[in-house]
Amino acid sequence: MSRLLIVGPQGSGKGTQGVRIAQAFGIPAISTGDVFRGAVAAGTELGQQVQAIIEAGNLVSDELTSAVVRDRLAQPDAEHGFLLDGYPRNVVQVMHLEEFLEGRDEQLDAVIELDVPRDESIARLSLRAAEQGRSDDTEEVIANRLAIYERETAPILDIYRTRGIVDRIDGVGTLDEITERIISALEARGLVRPAAA
């Protein structure tokens, strides 16, 4: 049973590492973007609300984001653990998540902080923008996204640090090296990977 959260700035590779770690521990990787897309595709009431907000070009509120994630965490595949990516993204959402987990007599086992220098994040995102032809990823836009991360998301790490559940991982290296560092840190906490079937 592993309940994990992965946190890192844009360009830190947390989406890729999140999926790898979730596979290694046999739990679903739950990213906010995927959850929103899933809810919209399923045409649920929450999904319709999310779609209307996104189409209007607005950010989904903390309350609605938390409701959609709670809905996803209540599904059977998340019963024995999960890895959250992109949620909670601020202190208010941390409170919502805590409330939900406490109601199930659960708590997070570990928070993986992918530590990547700012210039490295910018370089990676600029490269990705060039490779994918994404004109919206200008250096100015990237810097703004990183500033939002530093202002809103980084403070949630302080909350989890006081509980001693944050593992700060060097996010620079090959994909395999970084995955190995994360798995080693989680195993050092006593989190066990399921035996290969």
Domain boundaries, the chain: 2-31+80-188
**HEC-encoded secondary structure of the chain:** CEEEEEECCCCCCHHHHHHHHHHHHCCCEEEHHHHHHHHHHHCCHHHHHHHHHHHCCCCCCHHHHHHHHHHHHCCHHHCCEEEEECCCCCHHHHHHHHHHHHHCCCCCCEEEEEECCHHHHHHHHHHHHHHHCCCCCCHHHHHHHHHHHHHHHHHHHHHHHHCCCEEEEECCCCHHHHHHHHHHHHHHCCCCCCCCC
Mean pLDDT score of the chain, rounded to an integer?
A: 92
Is the torsion defined by CA of 100, 103, 104, 107 positive or negative? positive
Q: What is the pLDDT of residue 141?
A: 82
Question: Contact 156/7 with Cβ under 8 angstroms?
Answer: yes
pLDDT value at residue 82: 97
> Which residues are known catalytic residues?
14, 89, 128, 134, 145
Instruction: Give the pTM.
Output: 0.90
Residue stretches of the chain with pLDDT short of 50: 197
Domain 2-31+80-188: give its CATH architecture: 3-Layer(aba) Sandwich (3.40)
Q: What is the pLDDT of residue 76?
A: 95
What does the alpha-carbon distance between residue 160 and residue 81 come to, in Å, rounded to a whole number?
Answer: 18
Q: What is the pLDDT of residue 139?
A: 80
pLDDT digits (tens, 9 = 90+) for 15-44: 999 999 999 999 999 998 888 888 899 998
State the pLDDT at residue 197: 45
pLDDT at position 140 is: 84
Cβ pair 59, 148 in contact under 8 A: no
- CA 15 to chain CA mean position, Å: 7
